[in-house]
Amino acid sequence: MVKKVKSCVFISGNGTNLYSIIKSSRDYSFPIKIELIISNNNNNQKIFEKKCLIELKKREIGFLCLAGFMKILSNNFIKTFGYKIINIHPSLLPKFKGLNTHKRVLIKKEKYTGCTVHYVSSKLDSGNIIMQKKILIKKNETLKSLKKKVLVHEHKLYPEAIRCVFK
C-alpha cells in the first residue's frame, strides 16, 4: 500500500477536474489523497491566503492542485506553503497564457491547441511543464465544442501528471 500524500484542490468553477482527480485517487496506487477542497468566495486575497495556510498546516497538506482556480496566488503564499503546487491550463503553454484561452486560440486560427499541467510559480501560467497534450482543432470548431473537447483531455491529463510528479 502506497503512503498517499495529503493533498488539497483549489477550485473556482464547475469542479470537473476536481472530480476526475478524486476518481483517480480512489485507486490504491494513486500517490495522493484529497483531504481538503478550497474554493475562492473570499474577496480579500490576504485574508483568504492566511486562512488557507492555517488550514493546510493543520491538516498536514503536502501537495496542492489548482483546478480551474481563478485567483493568482501571491509569491508569499507559494513560498510559505513551501511544497509542490501544480496547475492545469487549457492551452499548449507557453502559448496562450491567461484568460479566454479558447477564444484567443480560435481567433488566431491555430491548427492545434492542448492542455498543460505545470508547476505554479510567481508568474502566471509560467512554471515548469510536467505534462502536455496536443489536440487538433477541427475546421468547423466552435468555442463550445473546443472547450468541451479540451476538457475531456484535461480530465485524463491531470491524474497522469500527478502520478508523474510522484514517480
Does the annotation count 155 as an active-site position? Answer: no
Three-state secondary-structure class, residue 34 = strand
Residue 122 to residue 149: CA distance in whole angstroms: 29
Query: What does the longest C-alpha to C-alpha distance in the chain come to?
Result: 51
Is the CB of 50 or the CB of 134 nearer to ligand GRF?
134
**Residue whose cell numbers read 468553477:** 13
Cell numbers for 128, please give them: 515548469
Sign, Cα dihedral of 143, 148, 153, 157: positive
The span of 13-21, 33-41, 42-50, 127-135 binding ligand GRF (CB under 6 A) equals 13-21
- 91 is a site residue for ligand GRF (CB under 6 A): no
Size of the chain in residues: 167
Q: Which is nearer to ligand GRF, 50 or 108 (CB)?
A: 108
Residue 131 interacting with ligand GRF (CB under 6 A): no
Q: Least CB distance from residue 18 to ligand GRF, whole Å?
A: 6
Q: Round to whole Å and give the CA distance between 155 and 21.
A: 8
Pairing mode, strands 84-89 and 63-67: parallel
**7, 17, 25, 113: which one contacts ligand GRF (CB under 6 A)?**
17
Name which of residues 65 to 84 contact ligand GRF (CB under 6 A).
67-68
From 10-18, 75-83, 106-114, 136-144, give the range in contact with ligand GRF by CB under 6 A.
Answer: 10-18
- Residue 127 touching ligand GRF (CB under 6 A): no
Query: Which residue type is seen at 42?
Result: N
For ligand GRF, which residue of 16, 74, 80, 121 counts as binding (CB under 6 A)?
A: 16
Q: Which residues bind ligand GRF (CB under 6 A)?
A: 11, 13-17, 67-68, 88-90, 151, 154
